[in-house]
Structure formats: structure tokens, C-alpha cells
Amino acid sequence: MKIEKKHIAILGSTGSIGTQALEVIKANPESFVVEVLTGNSNADLLIQQAIEFKPNAVVIADESKYQKVKAALDPQDIKVFAGNKAIEQVVQMDSINIVLAAIVGYAGLASTISAIKAKKNIALANKETLVVAGELVTALAKENGVNIYPVDSEHSAIFQCLAGEFTTANPSSGGWENPIEKIYLTASGGPFRGKDKNFLASVKKEQALKHPNWDMGAKITIDSATLMNKGLEVIEAKWLFSLKAEQIEVIVHPQSIIHSIVQFKDGSMKAQMGLPDMKLPIQYALAYPKRIASTFERFNFVDYPALTFEKPDTNTFRCLSLAYEAMKKGGNAPCILNAANEVAVQAFLTDKISFLKIADVIEGTLTKAPFISRPSYDNYVASDKETRALALGLCK
Ligand code: NAD
Ligand code: MG
């Protein structure tokens, strides 16, 4: 099958996912072209990336850095824009056919929605988009004939396990039969696996920022330490694969070799495995449906004589239970969960609250913020804003 080159917009190119995506693109110039790069405030890196990859346009969200980026890229004939609205506009460019949504947090929602409305396929790293507004975003994708390819390693694993499984159309119903009985999302357990509340009471951000298996941005690294990352991923999986809460189970697997598992309705299970390296799921999402050859380090069984599994400790790591509760409640509850978590994580990273207080802030905010059962986009925007104020109040 001849596959055209993918013309890619990378939203959040200066981050952990963004820079790894550029490594994948650099290694595969016959498959990928960079159309757009965007960053929040790291002007130097954005300029350096633009000079190397020669996109059509770049956007720097922080408007105070506009002149600097423009002066550097004008001679290169690269268009430069500034501000978050410009990110929403630039994703609609005709030449783009896939958008890598790799901005962190709620800040990535508007641009992802804008790209979907412009009928661009999405490689989705920004899980918060589906946590906040999964129902709306998946409905919009369907309406616009847009595919959402997961970048998150667990969801990429599920997606890879599902390849070829939806080919048995049920002729009498005329539809596709969902063959999934349940999925197991694997979790490393993070840097504090096995620790109790006494230990966690005094942990500092430097300890929380040391993830045993993955090197990621600060926010997701803290989320991994609290297990909120797995909670967000449970909600992300619900929307990506049309699952009910009871069909999603989290299992701690400290070696991070099995990236997730699908159990089908005949009881058969498929797992996807490999060494932990985000470049693989990034490349799979960008190149789909093709598998491109890579030089990523290969797994060696003898190096891992034991792959182990255990139940998550949700008494100590309450964020995971809070996420399940918010998902079951539905409406704007996951939006509230997400906003409270973003505020609490920021407060922890700036030494304003302790590690254990993160879950307290989220739980307190969930009980205080007004519930909306069928939120519109505007409701989500208002709810996010209101929740942040409430959560900030609880961080004092
Ligand atoms: P990061 O903090 O390293 O990078 C975030 C990127 O978003 C940067 O380019 C930054 O400039 C940009 N950004 C931040 N705030 C912005 C704003 N207000 N407006 C515009 N741009 C803004 O984060 P990351 O680790 O690369 O994670 C990105 C997303 O991918 C997150 O949603 C995360 O959960 C998800 N993800 C990351 C990994 C990983 O290994 N890093 C794995 C799975 C999923
Ligand atoms: Mg993940």
C-alpha cells in the first residue's frame, strides 16, 4: 500500500512528547513533514526546532516572546504567530493532515477541538482533553470523520492489540461488534510504590519527580507518583474504546514492559510489550496504519526474568479512586477532577502544599464545585475556571 507523507502539526513541540516526536520525524524524513510547531514560552528551543525542521508556521503562546521568535525566523521564511488563539487557528491550515496534540493539561483542549472541527486526524498525547470533555470530543470526531490515534503508551498498547479485531461485522445488525470484555491498564506504581501514608507525609517534589521508568514532563511525573495519571488514563480509555467503568482494571506492573492488555469476550488476552520508550507509541500514532522500521532498543527476556503484577493501593493513593468516582458520576465531574488536580499539582511543585494534600484538595473541590449533568463546551470552560478558584482556596 502506498502511503502519502504525513504533514504534521506538533502542538507542544518543546515538551517531552514534542521533542521525542521530532526525533521520530528526523529519523523518518521519507514518511513525515513538519508543518507547524508550537510552544508555550521556551522561545530558544522553538527557534532552534524551526530552523532545523523548516515548518510552514510556528506559534509561541507567550506573546511577550513574539518579537524574539519573529526576528529569528523571518529570515528563514517561516510564519510566526503568538497567543493561544493563534494555535487554534493555525491547526486549520490546509496543508496539515495530522495534529499531534502534545500540550499539557486543560490548555490543550481548545486547539484539539479546533483541529477536529477542521477535520484533521489527531495523534492524542494530551489525555486531559478526553478527561475534561470526552463525550463532546469523541462526538465531534465522529461527526467530522476524524480518527483519534492514542499516543499514551497504555492506550497505544490497547489500540495495537485491537488491530484486526473489528473486522467481524455482524451482518444482521449491520454494525461492528465490540469484541472487548475488559482491558487491563498497566501502571508502574511510580516512585512511591509500596510506601505508606507515614512515608508519603514528608516526601518532597525532588523525590516525586524521579520516575523509575519514564522521563516525562513535570505535571505527568507528579500525576504518576499520586496515581492520578492512571486515573486520568482510565477515563481516557473509556472514551477512546467506548468502555464502561467495570471493563477497565488497573494493574500495577513495576517493570513497565507490558504496556496494557485486552481481554476479549472469548477469554483470550492480548498484551503489547516492549522497553519503555515513548517514541514507539508516538511513531505508531503518526505512521498509522503503517509500522515503520526503527532502531529503538529491543527487549531482551533474559534481562527481565520476572514480570510482576500487583493490585494498586487505593487507600494510600486515593487519586485513583477519586478518578473512578468522577468517571462514574459523569457530567462535569471529570472536568472538576482535572482542574483541581492541575491546581494541586502546581501547588505541590511550588512547595505550597504537601504530597498527601493533593488528594485532599481534589476531593474537597469535587464536593464543592457545582455539578452539571450534561455540560456544553461553555459549561466546561466555566467549570474549569470556577474549579481552579475553589481548588486554589483549598491550597492555602
Ligand atoms: P511537557 O510539560 O514536557 O510539555 C508540554 C508542552 O506544552 C510544551 O511544549 C509547552 O510549551 C506546551 N504548553 C504548556 N502549557 C501551554 C499553554 N498554556 N499553551 C500552549 N502551550 C503550552 O509535557 P509532556 O510530558 O510532553 O506531556 C504532554 C502531554 O502528553 C500531557 O497531556 C501528558 O499527560 C501526555 N503524555 C506524556 C507522556 C510523556 O512521556 N511525557 C506520556 C504519555 C502522555
Ligand atoms: Mg501512560
The whole-number pLDDT of residue 176 equals 58
Q: Which residues of 297-308 are buried (b: 16+ CB within 10 A; e: fewer)?
A: eeeeeeeeeeee
Per-residue pLDDT for 2 more than 70?
A: no
Percent of the chain with pLDDT over 90: 93
Report pLDDT for 4.
Answer: 82
Atom of ligand 1 nearest to the CA of 221: 25
User: Per-residue pLDDT for 153 more than 90?
Assistant: yes
Mean pLDDT value of segment 254-259: 98
pLDDT per position as a tens digit, 49-63 = 999 999 999 999 999
Q: SS3 for 80?
A: strand
Specify whether the backbone of 321 is left (phi greater than 0), alpha (psi in -120 to 50) or beta: alpha
pLDDT, tens only, 182-232: 999 999 999 999 999 999 999 999 999 998 888 899 999 999 999 999 999
Task: Please tell me which residue, 233 or 2, carries the higher pLDDT value.
Answer: 233
Segment 105-123 mean pLDDT: 98
Q: Would you say residue 170 has pLDDT above 90?
A: no
pLDDT, average across residues 98-116: 98
pLDDT at 288: 96
Span 271-281, average pLDDT: 98
Distance 203 CA to ligand 1 centre (A): 24
Mean pLDDT of 166-187: 73
Please determine, for residue 135, whether its predicted confidence score (pLDDT) is greater than 80. Answer: yes
Q: What is the model's pLDDT at position 345?
A: 98
pLDDT at 169 over 80: no
Distance CA 68, CA 34 (A): 21
Phi and psi angles of residue 329, each rounded to the nearest 5 degrees, phi first: -70, -40
* 77 φ/ψ sector (left φ>0, alpha ψ -120 to 50, else beta): left
Closest CA to 361 of 338, 330, 378: 338
Mean pLDDT of 233-244: 96
| First-to-last C-alpha distance (Å) of the chain | 59
- C-alpha to C-alpha distance for 278 and 173, rounded to whole angstroms: 39
Buried b (16+ CB within 10 A) or exposed e, 30-45: ebbbbbbbbbbebbeb
Tell me whether residue 87 is exposed, middle or buried, using C-beta atoms within 10 angstroms of its C-beta: 0 to 12, 13 to 18, 19 or more. buried
Indicate the top mutation candidate among 132, 186, 216 to test ligand 1's pocket, ranked by most ligand atoms within 8 A of CB. Answer: 216
pLDDT at 151: 98
| Euclidean distance between CA atoms 316 and 60, whole angstroms | 40
Please choose from 11, 23, 103, 137 the residue to mutate so as to test ligand 1's pocket, defined by most ligand atoms within 8 A of CB.
103
**Confidence (pLDDT) at 178:** 79
pLDDT at position 166 over 90: no
Q: Is the pLDDT at 368 greater than 90, yes or no?
A: yes
Mean pLDDT lowest for which of 213-217, 290-294, 317-321? 213-217
pLDDT at 184: 98
State the average pLDDT over residues 133-154: 97
- pLDDT classification of 3: cutoffs 50, 70, 90: low
pLDDT at site 97: 95
Ligand 1: residues whose CB is within 6 Å?
12-18, 39-40, 42, 61, 84, 102-104, 107, 125-128, 152, 214, 216-217, 219-220, 278
Q: Find the 18 Cα to ligand 1 centroid distance in Å.
A: 8
**Closest approach atom of ligand 1 to CA 14:** 9
Q: What is the side-by-side order of every strand in the sheet holding 269-273?
A: 248-252, 180-187, 258-264, 269-273
Task: Give the model's pLDDT for residue 379.
Answer: 98
Separation of alpha carbons 212 and 316, rounded Å: 19
How far apart are the C-alpha atoms of 315 and 92, rounded to whole Å? 45
* The predicted structure's pLDDT at residue 74: 96
